[in-house]
Amino acid sequence: MNIKALRADLVTFTGDPFLQAPERCLRYIPDAIVVIEDGRIADLGPASDLLARLPQGIVPEHYPDGIISAGFIDTHVHYPQTEMIGAYGEQLLEWLNTYTFVAEQNFASAEHASRIAGVFLRELLRAGTTTAVVYCTVHPQSVDAFFNESARFNTRMIAGKVLMDRNAPQALLDSAQLGYDQSKALIERWHNHGRQHYCITPRFAPTSSDAQLEVCGVLAREHPDAFIQTHLCENRDEIKWVLELFPQRKSYLDVYANAGIVRDRSVFGHGIHLTEEDFCTCHQTGAALAHCPTSNLFLGSGLFRLFEAKDPKRPVRVGLGTDLGAGTSFSQLQSLNEAYKVAQLNQTRLNAIQAFYLATRGSAEALCLDDRIGTIAKGFDADLVILDKKATPLMALRSEFCKDIVEQLFVLMILGDDRAVRATYVAGEQVYDREAEGEKFSYPD
């Protein structure tokens, strides 16, 4: 039996602060202890209560300036685009052709895929992200490379091979049948293998024929607990193109609904330009949207209407995504910084409780994994991040003047980035330690 304990302030969420009073959804325990047993949370509470009942010989790892949070969850990210983050000057469709499709051809090399997967996963952990929904490339070896590295860290990851059979370079095309066969084999190899989950991944409607989208629906029916990811209504030119390619469909989302891939465990990236009917469809089916503010601003795609999506009359599941490499940071703190500004531009206000919920429990709910991750509670996976209130001199000064934990969280999301992550724990094991001498990352024993 492997038992350990962590000590710091603690924040977690007990409900959806978009649907009820935010202050009722926040659980805050100053000077808390979290007890971890065999990778799961066994107990938690004030240190004054728990110190006396800790097993003999267990000394908590103490972070005096820290806040323990559930690990961040990234609901939309492209690991092959790590090498091209910060590419200049295009909007979505031009950007794909100029940069993305060029970079993704490198993943025909398994060696290259393994190298980038290693960098990508370490950057996630440096940023305190313990689960992500990840696009690989059309190459099966890109999926194997990613899951192999994830399995070494024991991270709970969701990923899949991209399917594209048209409107992309020849080197990145498969076919409906090949896409099915390769995806089927990868599902059998990786889905629910340890903490790995497979995601059926048509890139977006313009790069898949009707036949290939139908294949995705077949895979979804054959594997009802698999995940599905694709892009939706990110850019107005993209939407126009989709309606030209699928004239028989009434909307972009209807293309996917007709293929049978709009359901719970479906995650649609962006959803900036959705109609009220689209929001209702997502609500009725349980499909989720991934809000990717740094990417949307970088590409000039538009402003996601978060509060419309979360309308209590028909709330839609919404998670937070970085969407690297159009997204500009691995840090979900930086995603929240930009999400706050997007909300302001939409004449709404995203408070810190709503924001941190979105990055943790809200994203877990979007993925139908809210019984395992995203919350600090007994029985949940011990995927945790220690946030440092004094990570920089400016943050240390600003924190002196915070009147309560809500203001402190807001300061973290506005001023924080990967420097604010003191340590990251995966299934109870420390996999990143900012203060470690030399190598800061370690695989669990």
pLDDT of 252 reads 98
- Residue 34, number of CB atoms within 10 A of its CB: 26
In a domain, 64, yes or no: yes
Residue 185 lies inside a defined structural domain of this protein = yes
Residues 6+ apart with CB under 8 A from 293: 304, 335, 338, 339, 341, 342
Please check whether residues 77 and 66 belong to one and the same domain: no
CATH number at residue 163: 3.20.20.140
- Which mean pLDDT values do the consecutive 10-residue runs of the chain (445 residues) have? 95 98 98 98 97 93 98 98 94 93 98 98 98 98 98 98 98 98 98 98 98 98 98 97 98 98 98 98 98 97 98 98 97 98 98 98 98 98 98 98 98 98 98 97 95
Total structural domains in the chain?
Answer: 2
Beta bridge partners of 130: none
The answer to whether the CB of 359 falls within 8 A of the CB of 328 is: no
- Both 82 and 7 in one domain: the answer is no
Residue 439 lies in a domain: no
Residues near 26 by beta carbon (within 8 Å), at least 6 away in sequence: 11, 13, 14, 17, 353, 405, 406
Looking at 344, 366, 388, the residue that finishes a domain is 366
Q: Does residue 208 lie within any of the structural domains?
A: yes
In the chain, the amino acid numbered 44 is L
CB-based contact 401:414 (threshold 8 Å) = no
Give the C-alpha separation, 103 to 399, whole Å. 41
Please give the residue range of the domain that contains residue 415: 3-70+375-433
**For residues 66 and 391, what is the distance between their CA atoms, to the nearest angstrom?**
10
pTM, full prediction: 0.98
* pLDDT reported for residue 445: 84
Task: Note the pLDDT of residue 437.
Answer: 95
- End-of-domain residue from the set 342, 366, 390: 366
332 and 286 housed in the same domain: yes
Residue 359 in domain: yes
* The last residue of a domain, from among 366, 386, 411: 366
Q: What is the pLDDT of residues 175-192, one digit of tens each?
A: 999 999 999 999 999 999
Q: Is 67 helix (H, G, I), strand (E, B) or coil?
A: strand
Query: Which residues neighbour 1 within 8 Å (Cβ) at sequence distance 6 or greater?
Result: 37, 38
State whether 249 and 353 are in the same domain: yes
